[in-house]
């Protein structure tokens, strides 16, 4: 199976209209969210939503064609006040409404036993969840990533709003008005912590040349002889296990704290070294095998961190997944499915997603922006993947990433440092997920815990 890199020129038309199979996929999303069985169908004016075994429907009579246009963030934008129409906005704020320049008033009407909504919520779900905006983009950063700053959400100031979840909250209320007797599914807030294992050791795997450079850096540039000695000592004593005084060896600390908090940590490993951006360790190193066993024995998760080049190379990604599966089988580590996240959050949509699907992965948790935390997919809920090009529903689950520690802390990104301002940002995002009953998915590298222990703890406990 070869997967092309899609550019706008590859398409006769730069539009990917929601097909019948796409509607089946959105029905499954609705069932996951609300429970019950739903039916979407086109009618003369737009799309109707029916509940199986019940009369009447909810009609979306204003189809927004902009939601099918790929590779652009130049959609109009408006917002809508739910309270004005007697509905509750879960975050108590006007709802962002991409795709239209002015929202009709009233937005909701009752008509002949149906409810009519004059905004294309179904199209919005498609546009956001299938990441239509990102397809074929050329305005990428130094790592070929679509940056937050180019996105419609960032430009219109709603990246920190899970707008699909907010609209689902409104739709749920309309559903209750239309079919008062049904009980909608309840969701409870959850936290998922994961750790990309880019560097399990600060100096344990350095080559002699890298080692002398690292010692020189600490001793001469930083005038820190203690760190210089530690670098050498750790390098000499990491043959069989990660050294206890290695500042990047925070695995036990992370697992202790997760267990205390009733959480299961996920550790995503890089299994090959194709590029200078990749890891400096090998999976067959005794210290790494030992670490994998420990993670497994303590009931935490082992996952894949596909190497730097794989984001548009499905064959290499699949080979890496198979390699990790083989290692685990050999070591008698039972995997219950294999998930993970792209190294550097590199993502070329939908090529990378299809690579995960073809490699038989169970979930991906890459979809957050490196340069800004927030809701890249407009949601804090996991959802089934969908390929907008082939209009095919996938078995891959998309688990959106809400915050990566360096996105918030580092000066190249949001630059909030590791103090009170950063804590406030993390907690605000977390509380937003909590209000929606979604999942706060947090990435914190094992190599970035040392020196940030308190911040990490406070974010997880908050
Ligand atoms: Zn990484």
Read out DSSP for 263-312? ---EEEEP----STTS-S--TTSHHHHHHHHHHHHTT-EEEE---GGGGG
Q: Which helix or strand (DSSP H or E) is residue 193 part of?
A: strand 190-197
- pLDDT of amino acid 279: 86
Distance separating alpha carbons of residues 35 and 17, to the nearest angstrom:
26
CB atoms within 10 A of CB 297: 9
Question: What is the CA(145)–ligand 1 centre distance, in A?
Answer: 14
CA 58–ligand 1 middle distance (angstroms): 44
Instruction: Compute the distance from residue 292 Cα to the ligand 1 centre, in Å.
Output: 17
Q: Residue 255 falls within a domain, yes or no?
A: yes
Tell me if 365 is assigned to some domain.
yes
**CA separation (Å) from 445 to 17, 143, 216?**
39, 19, 25
Are 77 and 26 in the same domain?
A: yes
Cβ-based burial of 362 (10 A; exposed 0-12, middle 13-18, buried ≥19): middle
Q: How far is the CA of 445 from the centre of ligand 1 (A)?
A: 8
**Is the residue at 329 inside a domain?**
yes
Ligand 1 centroid distance, CA of 344 (Å):
5
* Residues 195, 160 share a domain: no
Examine the domain organization and report whether 314 and 442 are in the same domain: yes
Clarify whether residues 368 and 289 are in a common domain.
yes
Query: What are the CA-CA distances from residue 258 to residues 255, 280, 447 (Å)?
Result: 5, 26, 16
For residue 10, the model assigns a pLDDT of 54
Distance (angstroms) between ligand 1 centre and the Cα of 340 equals 11
Residues 6+ apart with CB under 8 A from 114: 48, 56, 57, 58, 59, 178
Distance 239 CA to ligand 1 centre (A): 23
Ion ligand 1 contact residues with beta carbon within 5 A: 196, 198, 343
What does the pLDDT read at residue 172? 98
CA of 342 to the centre of ligand 1 (A): 7
Distance 41 CA to ligand 1 centre (A): 42
- Which residue segment(s) compose the domain that 456 sits in? 190-201+238-461
**Alpha carbons 417 and 409: distance in angstroms, whole number:** 4
Residue 448 CA, ligand 1 centroid: distance in Å: 12
Which tokens sit at 314?
Answer: 């499905």
60 located within any domain: yes
Q: Is the domain of 156 the same as that of 196? A: no
Distance (Å, whole) CA 130 – CA 151:
14
Average pLDDT for consecutive 10-residue bins of the chain (462 residues)?
Answer: 47 79 98 98 95 96 95 96 96 97 95 96 98 95 97 98 98 98 97 97 86 86 86 81 93 98 98 88 94 98 98 97 97 95 97 98 98 98 97 98 96 93 98 98 97 97 96
In a domain, 208, yes or no: no
Same domain, 288 and 427: yes
Tell whether 101 and 132 lie within a shared domain: yes
What is the C-alpha to C-alpha distance for residues 218 and 224, in angstroms, rounded to an integer?
A: 5
CATH number at residue 270: 3.20.20.370
Residue 324 structure tokens: 């990790």
Give the number of residues written for the chain. Answer: 462
Q: How many whole angstroms separate alpha carbon 376 and alpha carbon 107?
A: 26
pLDDT at residue 56, rounded to an integer: 96
pLDDT of residue 9: 54
**Does a structural domain hold residue 252?**
yes
CA of 428 to the centre of ligand 1 (A): 25
Q: Are residues 75 and 34 in the same domain?
A: yes
Distance 277 CA to ligand 1 centre (A): 9
For residues 46 and 123, membership in a common domain is answered with: yes
Backbone angles phi, psi at 402, to 5 degrees: -90, -40
- Angle, CA of 369, 365 and 300, to the nearest 5°: 135
Shared domain for 111 and 170, answered yes or no, is yes
In Å, what is the CA distance from 102 to each residue of 77, 122, 183? Answer: 8, 18, 33
In this prediction, residue 240 carries a pLDDT of 87
Same domain, 122 and 36: yes
Is the same domain home to 262 and 313? Answer: yes
What's the number of domains the chain is made of? Answer: 2
- Ligand 1 centroid to residue 134 C-alpha, Å: 21
- Residue 2 maps to a domain: no
What is the rounded distance in angstroms from the CA atom of residue 185 to the CA atom of residue 292?
37
How many Å lie between the centroid of ligand 1 and the Cα of residue 439? 22
Residue 84 lies in a domain: yes
- Ligand 1 midpoint to CA 294 (Å): 21
């Amino acid at each position: 199976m070869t997967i092309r890199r899609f550019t706008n020129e590859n398409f006769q038309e730069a539009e990917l209209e929601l097909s019948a199979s796409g509607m089946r996929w959105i029905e499954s999303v609705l069932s996951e969210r609300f429970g019950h069985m739903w039916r979407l169908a086109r009618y003369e004016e737009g799309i109707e939503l029916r509940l199986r075994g019940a009369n009447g429907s909810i009609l979306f009579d204003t189809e927004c064609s902009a939601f099918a246009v790929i590779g652009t963030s130049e959609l109009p934008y408006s917002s809508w006040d739910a309270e004005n129409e007697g509905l509750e906005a879960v975050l108590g704020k006007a709802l962002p409404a991409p795709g239209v320049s002015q929202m009709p008033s009233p937005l909701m009407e009752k008509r002949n036993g149906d409810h009519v909504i004059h905004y294309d919520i179904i199209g919005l779900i498609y546009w956001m969840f299938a990441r239509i905006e990102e397809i074929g983009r050329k305005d990428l950063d130094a790592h070929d990533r679509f940056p937050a700053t180019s996105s419609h959400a960032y430009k219109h100031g709603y990246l920190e709003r899970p707008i699909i979840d907010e609209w689902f909250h409104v739709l749920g209320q309309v559903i209750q008005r239309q079919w008062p007797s049904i009980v909608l599914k309840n969701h409870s807030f959850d936290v998922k912590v994961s750790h990309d294992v880019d560097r399990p050791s600060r100096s344990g795997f350095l080559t002699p040349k890298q080692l002398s450079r690292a010692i020189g850096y600490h001793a001469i540039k930083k005038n820190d002889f203690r760190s210089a000695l530690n670098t050498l000592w750790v390098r000499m004593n990491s043959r069989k296990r990660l050294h206890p005084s290695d500042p990047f060896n925070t695995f036990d600390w992370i697992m202790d704290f997760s267990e205390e908090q009733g959480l299961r940590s996920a550790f995503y490993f890089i299994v090959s070294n194709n590029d200078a951006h990749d890891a400096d360790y090998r999976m067959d190193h005794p210290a790494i095998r030992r670490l994998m066993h420990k993670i497994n024995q303590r009931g935490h998760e082992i996952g894949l961190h596909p190497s730097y080049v794989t984001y548009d190379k499905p064959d290499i990604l699949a080979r890496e997944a198979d390699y990790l599966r083989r290692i685990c089988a050999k070591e008698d580590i039972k995997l219950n499915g294999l998930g993970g996240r792209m190294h550097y959050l590199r993502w070329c949509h939908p090529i990378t997603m299809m690579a995960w699907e073809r490699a038989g992965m169970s979930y991906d948790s890459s979809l957050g922006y490196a340069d800004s935390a927030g809701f890249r997919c407009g949601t804090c809920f996991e959802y089934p993947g969908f390929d907008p090009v082939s209009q095919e529903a996938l078995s891959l689950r998309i688990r959106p990433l809400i915050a990566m520690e360096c996105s918030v802390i580092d000066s190249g990104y949001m630059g909030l440092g590791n103090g009170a301002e950063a804590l406030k940002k993390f907690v605000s995002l977390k509380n937003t997920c909590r209000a929606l009953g979604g999942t706060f998915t947090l990435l914190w590298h094992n190599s970035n815990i040392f020196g940030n222990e308190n911040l990490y703890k406070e974010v997880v406990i908050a």
